[in-house]
Amino acid sequence: MSGNALLVALAEHARSSPDAVFLVEMDGRTTTYGALASLATRIAETLREFGVRPGDRVGVHLRKSVDAVAAICGILHAEGIYVPLDAAAPAARSASILVDCGARAVLTGGPSGEVLRQELAALDAAMQVHLLTGVGGGAGIQEWLVQSGVPVTGTQGGHPTSPDSAACILYTSGSTGGPKGVVIPVRAVESFVQWAIASFAPNPCDRVASHAPFHFDLSIFDLFVPMRAGASVLLLDDSVVANPRLLVECIASRGITIWYSTPTTLRMLLDHGRLEETPSGALRLVLFAGEVFPLPQLRRLTRAWPAPRYCNLYGPTETNVVTWFEVPPDFDFDREPSLPIGEPCAGVIVMVEADCGGMAGAGEVGELLICSPTTMTGYWNRPDLTARALQKDSQERLWYKTGDLASRDERGVLHFHGRRDRMIKRRGYRIELAEIEAALSHHPQLGAVVTSTRVDSRGQTVIVAHVTLRGAERPSVVDLKKYCSAHLPLWMIPDQFEVLHSFPMTSTGKVDLQSLGTRDPGS
């Protein structure tokens, strides 16, 4: 197969156990290692034929499916860089991401694919749009291969890919108003996979639930760790990801052994999925990341399903997982203030930097800096942002400045204390409030927009948009939500809107965020 280190395992399993199941879709259709490997090879050949060269970006705008995984593997096989997109997000946002990364091509399908094609056409983007007739079970991509008419040559892929070449670009919310692309090199994925294999010992009998969408960094685990271990992956698509009862039922009925999601998802299973009344089946490992897991809910979860190991993984998209904490069986939920983010993963160095510079003492809160082989190359096309985030020390080591506040206790265990800036976490997604403000500021009836957040009685982060009006006409909340849904992904839509005559100001002439944030617009 190709020289891409990430696909070596796929080729090996395809050779040694071609009939072993790699992918399972919700409707029960399965795809073996052998089938997926040959599909990936053909996709790579076809992409090359279409002019995709090493280092070219190729968008994957497909719902979670065999087709999407095959596309990702095919792109990597062709030494391209895959750019996963949220097929449910507004087409305008996906189009702007594709334009930003200068994608050579995008693979898309379904009704949202047609909308994306039109959006790209309107932007005059010079990019191939490969529209799959159907998505699911690999049938759509097979059909596309046939339609493309590229002869099957079976040529083996070329030269080994450099570990520093990029594997994918994951777009996250940016503070300058638009999403920014985190460039993840092959080396970073490789290091992460090796750590996960050493820490969790996945084996061919494991069944990993892939809950996170492919544009979310958690999916790196879901795709590449089982692939390395020869395990199988249950692809949870849009029809189930938000359906807690189906998810809880399928954990036992589909024999899931490894689960990885945000705490929000696990809380959803607890609050709405009847988890406490449902057996956990063969589940042996529950990993969660992306935000803080409140202790009362974690306690409920570990009580209801005591058999699995529970691990809190920490790390921004820019570095993937860099510290982890396994919840010990005797964890004292009553006495501990919060769940620690634990200790650095093998090969990772972390430093808590005190405000005055230098290392923070035990218990002292400071910014968390990370030096890890799993770190990104930089932000796509944003040398300014990259230079601010990645800094070299005197020993030429590259450090990533997380913007997260942390402390290290006497035992050396790390604790998380929130953010330095206006980035927030909601449902595990990170959101720059500036991106919401930028989107809303184009609304014809709105003047200025400022957003704030608060935590409601259930511990959920609520985003409030405080707006002033341009004229006398006042848009309804329903109109505003509809407007947002056309310009922002669902998880970024504000929960509440408050119309003000003017914003409260601080003495220094800035908008008084503190006073905005403490009011309850509902009252």
Partner 1 sequence: MSDSAIVEAARQFILDRFLPGEAAGALTPTTPLISTGILDSLSVLELVTFLENRYSIEFAAHEVDRAHLDTLVAIESTVRQKGGRG
Partner 2 sequence: MDFTISAEQGELRRRILEFAREHLHDRAASPVPDTTFPRDHWRHCASLGILGLPFPEVYGGGGRDALTTVMALEALGQGCADNGLIFAIGAQMWSVQMPILRFGSEEQKHRYLPALCCGDLVGAHAMSEAQSGSDAFSISTSARRIGQGYRLNGTKVFVSQAPVADVFVVFARTGSDPGPMALSAFLVDRSTPGLVVGPPTPKLGLRTSPMASLTFDDCVIPESSRLNLEGRGAQIFRDSIEWERSCILAGAVGAMDRLLNDATKYARERHQFGRAIAAFGAIAHRLIDMKIHLEQARLALYRAAWEKEHGSDGTTLGAIAKLVVSEAYRRCAILAMEIRGGYGYTTDDVEREVRDALGSTIYSGTSDIQRLVIGRSLGLKLT
Residues near partner 1 (CB under 8 A): 239, 241-246, 249, 264, 268, 271-272, 427, 460, 476-479, 481-482, 484-485, 490-491, 493, 495-498, 521-522
Number of residues that bind partner 2 (CB under 8 A): 21
Give one DSSP letter per residue of 76-104, joined into a string: HHTT-EEEE--TTS-HHHHHHHHHHTT-S
* Whole-number Å distance between alpha carbons of 281 and 207: 12
Stretch that binds partner 2, among 126-134, 326-334, 423-431, 513-521 (CB under 8 A): 326-334
Please identify, using beta-carbon distances, which residue of 99 and 304 lies nearer to partner 2: 304
| Cα distance between residue 74 and residue 165, in whole Å | 16
Host H or E run for residue 464: strand 461-469
* Closest approach of partner 2 to the CB of residue 333, in Å: 10
Q: Does residue 461 sit in helix, strand or coil? A: strand
Q: Which two tokens stand for residue 12?
A: 């090996």
384 binds, among partner 1, partner 2, none (CB under 5 to 8 A by kind): none
Nearest residue (CB) to partner 1, 353 versus 498: 498
Single out the residue of 28, 111, 154, 328 in contact with partner 2 (rule: CB under 8 A). Answer: 328
CB closer to partner 2, 92 vs 252: 252
Contact partner at residue 242 from partner 2, partner 1, none, CB < 5 to 8 Å by partner kind: partner 1
Taking the least distance from each CB to partner 2, the nearer of 249 and 498 is 249
The site partner of 281 among partner 2, partner 1, none (C-beta below 5 to 8 Å per kind) is: partner 2
Residue 307 interacting partner from partner 2, partner 1, none (CB closer than 5 to 8 Å by kind): partner 2
Q: Which of the listed partners (partner 1, partner 2, none) does 163 bind, with a CB threshold of 5 to 8 Å by partner kind?
A: none
User: Are 73 and 26 in contact, with CB atoms under 8 Å apart?
Assistant: no
Considering the complex, what minimum distance in angstroms separates the CB of residue 193 from partner 2? Answer: 23
Please give the Cα distance from 338 to 427 (Å, whole number): 18
Which amino acid does the sequence have at 294? P
Q: Which of 46, 24, 27, 47 is nearest to 36 (CA)?
A: 24
CA nearest 371: which of 347, 406, 404?
Answer: 347
Site for partner 2 in 267-306 (CB under 8 A): 276-277, 279-282, 284, 296, 299-300, 303, 305-306
Asked if residue 9 lies in contact with residue 37, where contact means CB atoms within 8 angstroms, the answer is no
Q: Do 469 and 502 meet the contact criterion of CB atoms below 8 Å apart? A: no
For partner 2, the closer of residues 310 and 416 by Cβ is 310
Element containing residue 9 per DSSP (H, E): helix 8-16
343 binds, among partner 1, partner 2, none (CB under 5 to 8 A by kind): none
Using DSSP's 3-state secondary structure scheme, residue 213 falls into coil
Phi then psi dihedrals of residue 267, to 5 deg = -65, -35
Q: How far is the CB of 300 from partner 2 (least distance, A)?
A: 5
Residue 420 within binding range of partner 2, rule CB under 8 A = no
Provide, rounded to whole angstroms, the least separation between the CB of residue 25 and partner 1.
15
Nearer to partner 1, 336 or 520 (CB): 520
Q: Which of residues 239-268 bind partner 2 (CB under 8 A)?
A: 252, 255
- d(CA 318, CA 220) in angstroms, rounded, equals 12
481 binds, among partner 2, partner 1, none (CB under 5 to 8 A by kind): partner 1
DSSP 8-state class, residue 492: G
Say if residues 399 and 355 touch (Cβ distance below 8 Å). no
Distance CA 314, CA 324 (A): 6
* Window of 329-337, 396-404, 426-434, 451-459 that interacts with partner 2 by CB under 8 A: 329-337
Report the C-alpha gap between 49 and 320 in whole angstroms.
33
> Which one, 72 or 283, has the nearer CB to partner 2?
283
Hey, is 481 helix, strand or coil?
A: helix
Q: Measured from the CB atom, is 367 or 437 closer to partner 1?
A: 437
Q: Select from 198, 307, 359, 455 the one that contacts partner 2 (CB under 8 A).
A: 307
Phi first, then psi: what are they for 41, rounded to 5°? -60, -45
How would you list the strands of the sheet with 30-32, edge to edge? 30-32, 21-25, 232-235, 207-210, 258-261, 285-289, 309-314, 323-326, 343-344
| Nearest residue (CB) to partner 2, 41 versus 280 | 280
22 backbone dihedrals φ, ψ, rounded to 5°: -100, -50
Nearer to partner 1, 245 or 300 (CB): 245
Taking CB under 8 A as the rule, does residue 329 contact partner 2?
Answer: yes
User: Which stretches of the chain bind partner 2, using CB under 8 A?
Assistant: 252, 255, 276-277, 279-282, 284, 296, 299-300, 303, 305-307, 309, 328-330, 334
